[in-house]
Structure formats: structure tokens, C-alpha cells
Structure 1
Amino acid sequence: MTEETIQDEMIAGKHPVLEALRSGREINKIWIADGAQKTLTQPIVAEAKKFGIVVQFVDKRKLDSLTPGVTHQGVVAQAAAFAYVEVEEILERAKERDEIPFILLLDEIEDPHNLGSILRTAECTGVHGVIIPKRRSAGLTATVLKTSAGAAEHVPVARVTNLAQTIDKLKEAGVWVAGTDLSASQDVYKMKFDMPLVVVIGNESKGMGRLIKEKCDFLVKLPMLGQLNSLNASVAAGVLMYEVVRQRRSL
């Protein structure tokens, strides 16, 4: 059976999905129809578990809508439009440029439009790479690529299984971790960002997770002078990225 691709990112059918997994292709998510034969889906579930890929069981109509006109056999996978990188490659990128590392870590940003906008600003501000989790996060989909206006082709994105462990590894590499949180006592404009730095942006509604917040070396907040107490995640990320740029340009 040949691989069926919808809009360059959907793979339909048992064999195409299984082969994509075994070949090492980057897969964002897999959907399996409720009631699908276990003999058909068990190898896919096992392979997905091995790579930490999210598998969701849904109504068959969901799969029909994802791959209109294509025989999916109750299995559809969403492939990454671009390959992800390793965290070490992001650090190496900064080293090759002889620049102080500047990395974004996104704690469960779920809206693909937000992710695309963040990648666009990251490219404009010289961010060396972006780190996202495999679960409960938007991935490199066609929507993200379109929203990023091509920036996703130039900003390396690492997709990791465990954000907390990734933060520990970054700290071991000498990188400081700044979390963004409304409860922070430190104003972002009073903080220095002249060190190797990871800026953590939290989920659109929940903010950073408790464990991620505890892992941060320090927390900062943007001043809120109006009636609302929060900004859109991509807007907040943009303000923070340009504050880092402003400070580093003055060094």
C-alpha cells in the first residue's frame, strides 16, 4: 500500500502509518477509530508508545473529516511538516555563531496560531531554538508553518518527552531558566538577561505547570496597567524576546 498524504501532513491507513513510525518519520499524533480491530491497531499503539507519540481513540467520523475521500482503515497519523532537532543542536547553533544562548521553552502552548506567531518573532529576534513537549502541545503542522510566515524553516524546534528533565540538562550546560508568571515579584524590565538564557512561556490559560515553575531559576512578569491581567501567549512571548534583544544590543 502506498502512503496517502492529505495536505502534506495526514497519513492514512494501517500500513502507511506503521511504516512512517518504523522509518523514524516525525509524527505529531495518531488517531484510531473507536471499535477498530485490536489486531490491526495493537502494533501501531505499541510502536507509538515506544517513541512517546500521543494516540487518541475517537469516533470514526473524526477520521473521515481528517482524510476526506481516503480509505483510512480506522488509523490516521499527523506527520510533522518539518523535522525536529535535538536540544544539543540548539546549543551548538549558539556556539557556532559565537553568541550567548537564547532559547524559548513553551510549556504546553496548544494553539497552532500562537505557536506559529511565536516562531515568527523568535526568528526575528535571533532565538537559537524553541523547545516544546510531545504531549498537550501544538506541533509543526501546516497551520503553524503558515502562521509563522516561513519562520519555521529557520528556527530549530526540539520536541521532548519531559520538559523538567530537559530543563535540568540545560542547567547542567550552564543555561539559566527564566519563567514568566503573573505571581512573580520581579518586573521583567528590572531583570538582566545577559546570561545564557531559556525563557519559559506557559500555557494559554493555565500558565506554567507547577513542576516547571519550581525548576525555574527566577520568575518575571510583565507589568499590567489595564483592567485585564494577562496577554495573549504569543504577544507576551514577543515582548519578552524583544526585551532580551534590547538588553543584549546595549552590551
Structure 2
Amino acid sequence: MTRPPHKGPRNDRRLPPREAPPAEPFRRPSADVVVLYGAHAVREALRARRRKLLTLYATEGAAERIAPLAAEAGLTPQIVDPRALTSRLGDESVHQGLLLEARPLPAAEIADIETKSGVVLVLDQVTDPHNVGAILRTAAAFAVDALVMTDRNSPELTGVLAKAASGALEHVLIVSVVNLARALQELSQSGRLVVGLDSEAPAPLEETRLQNPIALVLGAEGKGLRRLTRERCDVLARLDMPGPIKSLNVSNACAVALTTLRLKGIASSE
């Protein structure tokens, strides 16, 4: 005997259709528009006003918190859904409800560097944006005169780097150069002692004879300083670590080196 078809309520396990993410209102990425996100990066860009500010996007809560500072900078936050920010920046971004579109920082040259603290940092093809961002944060904390880096084999001054710099990108003069060896020569001719950090150097930094003003050169992790870069340095020095791990992340090495210079009286307290 054939059973009649069951006409009771069906156990329909189909999920409801996913709601489409909101449309993104942002500009298309281009060479003349940079993206800054996160509370510190956006706040310091609004506060410093070293660059032309275009559009500020914010969630409702973030817009309320940043409204006074945005008004001082002449911007009105455009309210967006947080999912739009995540879609634009990626799932791993910690945007804190803020995204700012702006023009790149004004270009600078070696001749534009003013001697204040007496210390210039030079990066020899350090490519990781997190490391460069952390170095910028340390540079701002120590009030260095400038950060010199190459046009190529360096990260873009936006996005992840700006977030890692935690606002320091707006406060440190950045000089991009085509030829690093030539830039080191210019720094030396301007009266700065060019010191390269090298693990094979003959003496530790704290025992090396130094003078102000100074240009401290840091190499990429793993590779270190390139041969031509080492040849353009006036002196090489190393960082000796007392613990079982002898090497440091380049951003940590930067902080240790700047602390050493300050303790030696090389970096000005201004």
C-alpha cells in the first residue's frame, strides 16, 4: 500500500538570502589619492594638515567622536556602514570606523632637512610597511629631523604603513630619493656623520666615536646594508645584545639605536 504524500509543515533548512553589502562611496585608488584609516592616523592627519584633505568617511559613532576635529579641518564626515569600510580596506583592517582620503604628503629633498635634534634616519630598502610604520612612530617620539628612503623597494606611505605609524606619518619629514648612495654622500657633505648599523661592524654603537649631526642607516631584515651603502657610510657600528637572541627586528633595532644616541648625548633634547 502506497503512503499518501506528507502534507504537514516542511522542515525547510534553507538559509535566508544574505543581505548584499552597502555600495562603496569611495574614490577609485590612484597615485594622487592616499587612504588613511584608524583613529590615530586620521586624527593626526586632521590635526597636522600637512596634506590636502579630501573626504572623511565615518560610522555614526566614530563621526560623533571626531566631529569637532573634522570641523576645524573643514570637513564634514560622510556617514557610511561599517561593512563598507571593511569591504574597502579588507577583513584584517582595524579601521575603527574611520577612513580619510587625502593627497600625498608634499615631496621633500635632502636640502629641505633642518637640523633640530641632529638625527636623520636612513632606510636601505626596508620594504615591510609594518616595520616602516613602527620606525616612523619611533622617529616621531625621538623628534628626528627626517626619514630618508628610496623611491623603489619601499612601501607606499598610506594604508597599513600609516596605521602602523599611529599618526607619526604626519609629523616626520620624509625624503624619497632615487639613488641612496648619492643621498648618503649629500648627507655626509652637509656635515652629518653617516653611521651604518651592521652586525659585522668592528665595534658596538655605544663604544663608537660619534658626533652630532648624524645620519643613522638601517638595512632590511635578513639582507642588512647593501655593499654600496656600507661603502658610503663614514663608520659602521653594531648593536650588541646581552641575551640569548642576538638579532632584533629592524624597528626595534631603530629604537635601541636612538636610545643609545640619546644616552651618548648625540641626539638633542629639544
**Aligned twin of 1:86:** 109
**Aligned twin of 1:147:** 164
User: Percent identity at matched positions?
Assistant: 33
1:159 CA drift (Å): 0.4
Alignment of 1:148-187 (within 5 A): 148-187=165-204
1:120 counterpart (137, 145, 152): 137
1:188 CA drift (Å): 1.0
**Aligned twin of 1:5:** 28
- The answer as to 2:121 corresponding to 1:104 is yes
Q: 1:215 to 1:250 in 2, by over 3 A?
A: closer
2:212–2:267 Cα contact (<8 Å) kept: no
1:192–1:247 Cα contact (<8 Å) kept: no
Write the deviation string for residues 76-108 of structure 1: whole angstroms up to 9, x where unpaired. xxx974333111111xx22xxxx4621000001
**Aligned twin of 2:70:** none
State the AA in 1 paired with 2:263: R
2:206–2:264 Cα contact (<8 Å) kept: no
Q: 1:80 to 1:242 in 2, by over 3 A?
A: farther
Report the secondary structure of 1:214's partner residue.
helix
Alignment of 1:204-215 (within 5 A): 204-215=221-232
Write the deviation string for residues 206-243 of structure 1: whole angstroms up to 9, x where unpaired. 00000001111111111133343310000001111111
**Aligned twin of 2:214:** 197
| Inter-partner Cα distance in structure 2 for 1:160 and 1:249 | 25
Report the secondary structure of 1:248's partner residue.
coil
Q: Which protein is richer in strand relative to its size?
A: 1
1:167–1:215 Cα contact (<8 Å) kept: yes
**Aligned twin of 1:224:** 241
Q: Which moved more, 1:189-198 or 1:211-220?
A: 189-198
2:118–2:266 Cα contact (<8 Å) kept: no
Unaligned runs of 5+ in 1: 11-64, 69-78
Count of aligned pairs: 180
Q: Which has the larger radius of gyration?
A: 2
TM-score of the pair, normalised by structure 2: 0.60
| Inter-partner Cα distance in structure 1 for 2:247 and 2:178 | 28
